[in-house]
Structure 1
């Protein structure tokens, strides 16, 4: 049997040649790694920093990123300056108001216009929605809701009730008791009562908007063309607060309507006091605590806490009158004026419904 033997010298030479290849590859890999590490750790050039900052500012402002790479130094300085201008907003010189005039006063006309437009839009929107309600359409009033109610309001304002000395004769008393029936009629009263019941979730907002519309700076908007003076509204405030007929009328209404009418009647008398035109001498010192007590014990009002905060503020403005002697014992002599302690806010008086 013949044995084929490989020559030893050739085998060793191939082995040596093959062993050099891995060493060469490892060296190349190490060189590449060192080069990449140096490039990564090397400081970034000003051109690249400015370009990167410009891209960040552009993204923050919602602009598409564009990072041209100019090769000349002049282009690099231009881009960096551009980036600084974008990053740092220009300083605008503040215009000083004229002497004797403040900046808020200068903005008042614009604020008044915005306020009037907002009130008119909300009030007009309420009546527009009312036109689409099926229950209102069934009454067939023959007019858009806004025009219908403004017509009723103008009738009531031009025919005020008797506030002072209504008990001097029986005729005046009976006339006052039937005031709303005489002026606008029983059918319109039924319509109003139905709307107050169906729109109980929005009636407080509408009442607040109407109060602001009539007592604030005069608004003249085509969407809601209605004007009522404090003098006209004061007549009805006095009727509900200071007359037997007005108070008896409120006691026949639902509690929400009664509380709202009392609340805004107090505010209107306060407005008349501020203008020096409380001609019937309506004393709010006894009416405010009574209104606070009624609202505290009610859960029918959405903005109950706001009403209470306002009334408590008015209590500080109108101190309560009490009879006390100089020794502190109540009697008929030694009358003094004392600022009575306001009622204590009861726990759990937040709106419950």
Structure 2
């Protein structure tokens, strides 16, 4: 039996190739001249990559590349620049806190009791004098049991370091400003804990070591605790709370030089604060004390 001839298939394949080639030739010659040049240029670049200067055609007003270049050189609208300007204009947190401190003392200057007790010296100027005295003559928050002289010095520390007028002013502020007491202590604590170069134009802020010394004095000495017990209960527990926060920071910095053990102090203070429902930041105090106690117990 004879095999079927392949000739018809070969003829059909040849006709198909010729038809496709003719169609391509006819279609490519019907394209606009600049499209035809672009198609040829693309094909050449794909086969033989070359620099753009060698293949670049003279630019015409209708050429897409010319339009793209003009758009790229268009200046950015002012609307898109506003967010970056606003971002750089954010106020410095250090300056904001120092401004709050100054505003508070300006408020004190306008009160009747402050004008009566300090008619010639502003509250801020008096603060600078008081802080310099406290920094120069810190208490000794340890060794009271072994040296009676330290115990006596701590009992009379503020009376020996400050003038009677300074102590009277402090007492008047606590008596006349009970509603802002917590905000005031929070502001002072935040300002005291700022890093060294932050918002202290008059160089009056005590160092962290001095702040830690007074915190240890309030919670670790007879003299410090006796002073707090002469204050109202709400003032006493809030001052104790911030003293523990300073000592906790000293522990984190590995700078608890007087070896104050916070763990036995946390639960009694927490129980006291939980009874003062009129404290604005009560829940914040309790949450922080619970967190610190959990951290200390986990490490032991």
> Same fold by TM (over 0.5)?
yes
Q: Deviations over 1:293-314 (max 9, x none)?
A: 1100123422111111111111
> Pick from 270, 281, 296: which aligns with 2:248?
270
Is the CA contact (8 Å cut-off) linking 1:272 and 1:278 kept in structure 2?
A: yes
- Structure 1 gap segments, 5+ residues each: 1-89, 96-106, 322-336, 338-353
Pairs within 5 Å for 1:78-97: none
Is the CA contact (8 Å cut-off) linking 2:270 and 2:289 kept in structure 1?
A: yes
Pairs within 5 Å for 1:224-243: 226-243=204-221
Q: Does 1:311 align with 2:285?
A: no
Bigger relative contact order, structure 1 or 2 (CA pairs below 8 A, ≥6 apart): 2
> Pick from 169, 174, 183: which aligns with 1:205?
183
The Cα of 1:110 is off from its aligned counterpart by 7.8
CA distance in 2 between partners of 1:154 and 1:294 (Å)? 33
* Structure-2 residue corresponding to 1:162: 140
Q: Does 1:290 align with 2:268?
A: yes
CA distance in 2 between partners of 1:110 and 1:170 (Å)? 56
Is the CA contact (8 Å cut-off) linking 2:215 and 2:244 kept in structure 1?
A: yes
Is the CA contact (8 Å cut-off) linking 1:167 and 1:173 kept in structure 2?
A: yes
Q: Does 1:252 align with 2:249?
A: no
Is the CA contact (8 Å cut-off) linking 2:263 and 2:296 kept in structure 1?
A: yes
Is the CA contact (8 Å cut-off) linking 1:237 and 1:266 kept in structure 2?
A: yes
* Structure-1 residue corresponding to 2:124: 146
Is the CA contact (8 Å cut-off) linking 1:255 and 1:300 kept in structure 2?
A: no
Runs of 4+ in 1 over 4 A off after TM superposition: none
* Structure-1 residue corresponding to 2:160: 182
Q: Deviations over 1:290-349 (max 9, x none)?
A: 11111001234221111111111111211189xxxxxxxxxxxxxxx5xxxxxxxxxxxx
* Structure-2 residue corresponding to 1:125: 103
RMSD (Å) for aligned C-alpha atoms: 2.6
Higher helix share: 2
* Structure-2 residue corresponding to 1:220: 199
CA distance in 2 between partners of 1:181 and 1:248 (Å)? 13
The Cα of 1:141 is off from its aligned counterpart by 5.2
Q: Deviations over 1:96-132 (max 9, x none)?
A: xxxxxxxxxxx9x987x62012111111111001101
CA distance in 1 between partners of 2:237 and 2:137 (Å)? 24
* Structure-2 residue corresponding to 1:302: 280
Q: Deviations over 1:142-201 (max 9, x none)?
A: 211111022112211221111111222333221210100000033321210111111111
Pairs within 5 Å for 1:62-101: none
Please give the secondary structure, in 2, of the residue aligned with 1:163.
coil
Call closer, same or farther: CA 1:306–1:174 in 2, change over 3 Å: same
Is the CA contact (8 Å cut-off) linking 2:270 and 2:286 kept in structure 1?
A: yes
Is the CA contact (8 Å cut-off) linking 1:238 and 1:282 kept in structure 2?
A: yes
- Structure 2 gap segments, 5+ residues each: 1-78
Call closer, same or farther: CA 1:252–1:202 in 2, change over 3 Å: same
